Each structure stands twice: as C-alpha cells, then as structure tokens.
Structure 1
Amino acid sequence: MLNKITAVIAEDDFRIADIHEKFLNKFNEIEVAGKALNGSQTIEMLTEKTPDLLILDIYMPDMLGSDLLPIIREGFPKVSIIMITAATDKDFIEKALSYGVENYLIKPVNRERFDEVILDFIKKYTLLNSKQEINQKYVDLLFGNKEIEKPGKETELPKGIDEITLRKVKNVLLVKNQGLSAEEVGNEIGASRITARRYLEYLSSIKEAKAEVVYGIVGRPERKYYPI
C-alpha cells in the first residue's frame, strides 16, 4: 500500500483555499499538509512539508505564482504542480507548460473537472510508484495517450454507457489497484451501485477489467472487479 499523497495549497484567498482543501479531502489517497497565503509562505511550506503535489495560484500579494515556478523547479524538482487561477494570459499558460505543470484550471473551477484532474494525477502518481512492468501500455497510461484506433474499429459506446463516467470508473480501478465491489466504485464516483455495476460489467466484457466472486466473513458471495 502506497503512502498518502501529501498536498500543499498556495492560495491568497483563504475561502477558496478552504474549498480546495475540502475538494481534496474527498480523496482518501491525499492528505493536505498545509496552506500558504503568499509566495514566501509557499516556499517555506515546500521546505517544511516536502509535498508530492502543490495546488498553486498565480495572483498572490507578494509575487506571481508563475514567477515561483523556476524557484520551485530549482529547489523542489520532484513536486507536481497543478495551477488553479483566474489568469487567462497566454504567457502564463506557456510558462506553466515550459516548467512542467501537470494541469491548469481556470477559476471558477467546476467540481467535476477538479475531480477529473485530481483522479488523473493520482493515477499517474500510483503508476510511477508501482512495480508494474514498463512497456508501451504502461507509458501510454502514464502520459495519458489514447489507444490508436484501427481502421474500421467500432468507437460508439453502447446505450447507457457514457464516456466521462466510463473514464471515472476506469481511473478508480487503476488508482485503487485492488478488487472493488460495484458499491465501492459507485461511492467513489458518486453514482449508484447499479450504475457502477453496469459500467464494470461493460469493462469486463471488453477485457479492460476482470471480475471475480469472493466470499466474505459470513460466506455471502460478492463480485469484485480488478483492473487489467
């Protein structure tokens, strides 16, 4: 079992910082180690907490978060950065890309989009820290590459299967990397057990998950799903 992912939030508006902390606390894999209100506090927090993830705003009272990027990359090269900001200037976005920022979210952030980005980060972090064999499939998962479609391949999903929900279910299986019931998956994605089971059975039918029947303490059989 991997240690929890440590996160730090750098945001000058404490109300927004509290919202981001609340969002992150939804994920059992993440622990918020602290919040910084300006650039200097951010550097102090990175030094003290050595987090795995930094949620970084651009507009802070003492310096721009974008100006922190070279300092962070020099002193804390392994920390992953997700920027959440109202800044829409192309220069900021280009700088974020050049310093290897994981993702860039524009305020106000949609909760569903926030969750997607964090799930993708957890998946990547888990893969990097796993003992999985390194092959093209592993690399494609790590870099978020989509499978190249073959000519004539059917791309339409069956009725009742939504692409966004399907991606969430797949991410949950990959991140947890253990057998999960339909109820457990449903709780993770905010859906009913019946809905989760429909998606899990679909993944099983296309060989992107496998299902096994396990017996609990009282002997009641339960269907568990595993990533492939």
Structure 2
Amino acid sequence: MSKKFNPLENIQVLIIDDDVRISEINRRFVEKIEGYTVIGIATNKQEAKEQLEVLCPDLVLLDIYFPDMSGLDFLRFIKEVQPDTDVIMITAAKEVRAVKNAIRSGVYDFIVKPVIFERFQTTLLNYKKFRNRLNKLAQENQKINQHEIDELFINTDASAFKRKDNYHFPKGIDQLTLEKVKAAAQEMNYGSSAEQIGSKIGISRTTARRYLEYLVSQGEVEATLSYGDVGRPERIYQSFNK
C-alpha cells in the first residue's frame, strides 16, 4: 500500500537480520542519521513477513543468510508485496553472484559487513536525497525529462562512490578547487606550469602545484621537466583527458 509522501516525516526502516547483535548495531547507526527511524527488527522469515505487512516500511536493511530463508528470495518477495519499499542489503556475503542477483532484483545498495559507519551514512544520506527528489517529481509532474532524470541520480547511489567525495581527499584538497585545476589543465593544450594554472584560476602557485601533484598521483595529469635557458628545470603539467 502506497503512503502519501511527506518530506517532513522520517524514513521508516525495518531491519531484517538473524544476528541480534548486528541488528542492534545497525539500529544505532540508522538512528545517528537525521531523518531516519527504525520501526522494527525481524530475525527470521515469519517475523520479517509479519512486520513487512503490518509496518509497511519505507526502507528495509536486509541480510542474505538466514537459517530459514534466503535474503535474496525475500528481496524478491518484498518487491512483489511492497513495491514501494526500497531495500539495502547489509551482509557478509561477498560473492559476485550474490551482488549481481541483488542488483538485478532491485536493491538500492549493497554494503558488506563489518559495516563502516561513514560508508553506511553516505548511502543513507544519498538514499534520502534520491527518495525526496523522486517523490517530489511524482507529485509535481506526470512526465519527467532527461535533465530531471540526471538530477535524480547525481550524488546518489553508486554514482557517489564512482567520484571522489570530499571526505576521501587528503588534507588540503577540496573537490571544488580540484575541479577548477583539472579544467584549467585540460584547456591548456601544450602543458603549463603550476604558476600559469594558478594565475588562470586565481590561486597561488604553491596551491596549484599541490593540486596538480595530486592529479599526477591519480593518473589524470602527466608531469614532465622543462629545461629553460636559465635557472632550475620547471615541472610542466599536461592533462591526459583532452
């Protein structure tokens, strides 16, 4: 049964895991994140079915291995009986087949135990953005255009882990400045010095060099030495992505 969307309401979560200790850890993780409430914990197939039917959760955190059922089978059951309920698998299973089956069955994300809170938090924050955008679009429009579809997936789901979010960068590197340095390096066809790139985007030579060296370490920029007539050789940076 579909529920009317209210952006002010917390996302209601059902945890399904036969390990009570893990369920309690996941409950605490969920409730550290603003906008979420755990409404139930189920440890076996019967409890899971009953709570799914009665509670109609927005989101299920689901394990794969249970003594009395397969989590992948239960994922498909959820999609049949509660199509508006989303699922995130949180499991010790690392087999490619399990991941593939979960994705094909409509899972939102797949997190491997032991759960790292930062990874878990990123997924839930992205899911909240995704859910709010999708529900808002559903209320406002009968049709959706390509731009709205693209916006729906920006910074959400797996796309968040394909790019390097700020918390993954080393100290002294932020994403906005990095993108500016990268763009400047791409625009300068024949390579340029840190001083030239810094001047182009309005940062110091030292700062530009720090970012350029980071891009070199990531394999996105090549650095070579240029020997001028006078003085020390200068490092020249050229982007691989022309």
Give the TM-score category using the shorter length: 0.5 to 0.7
Q: 1:78 deviation in Å?
A: 1.1
Map 1:39-54 onto structure 2 (within 5 A).
39-54=45-60
Equivalent pair of 1:39/1:64 in contact (CA under 8 Å): no
Matched residue SS, 1:96: helix
* Equivalent in 89, 92, 104 of residue 98 of structure 1: 104
CA distance in 2, matches of 1:51, 1:86: 23
Letter in 2 for 1:96: A
Normalised by the length of structure 1, the TM-score is 0.61
Q: 1:135 deviation in Å?
A: 4.2
What count of residue pairs does the alignment treat as equivalent?
154
5+ residue gaps, structure 1, are 147-156, 167-228
Equivalent pair of 1:39/1:65 in contact (CA under 8 Å): no
CA distance in 1, matches of 2:103, 2:37: 26
CA distance in 1, matches of 2:75, 2:21: 24
Matched, 1:136 2:180: no
Matched residue SS, 1:130: helix
Over the matched positions of the two proteins, sequence identity in percent amounts to 41
Q: Deviations over 1:151-192 (max 9, x none)?
A: xxxxxx9x945349x9xxxxxxxxxxxxxxxxxxxxxxxxxx
Q: Deviations over 1:34-55 (max 9, x none)?
A: 0000122111111010000000
Letter in 2 for 1:139: I
Normalised by the length of structure 2, the TM-score is 0.58
Equivalent pair of 2:75/2:87 in contact (CA under 8 Å): no
Q: 1:71 deviation in Å?
A: 1.3
CA distance in 1, matches of 2:109, 2:16: 15
Question: 2:26 corresponds to which residue?
Answer: 20
Map 1:137-156 onto structure 2 (within 5 A).
137-144=147-154
Matched residue SS, 1:67: helix
* Equivalent in 36, 39, 44 of residue 38 of structure 1: 44
Letter in 1 for 2:174: D
Letter in 1 for 2:152: L
Q: 1:31 deviation in Å?
A: 1.0
Letter in 2 for 1:141: E
Q: What is the root-mean-square deviation in Å for CA atoms of aligned residues? A: 2.5
5+ residue gaps, structure 2, are 1-6, 160-168, 179-242
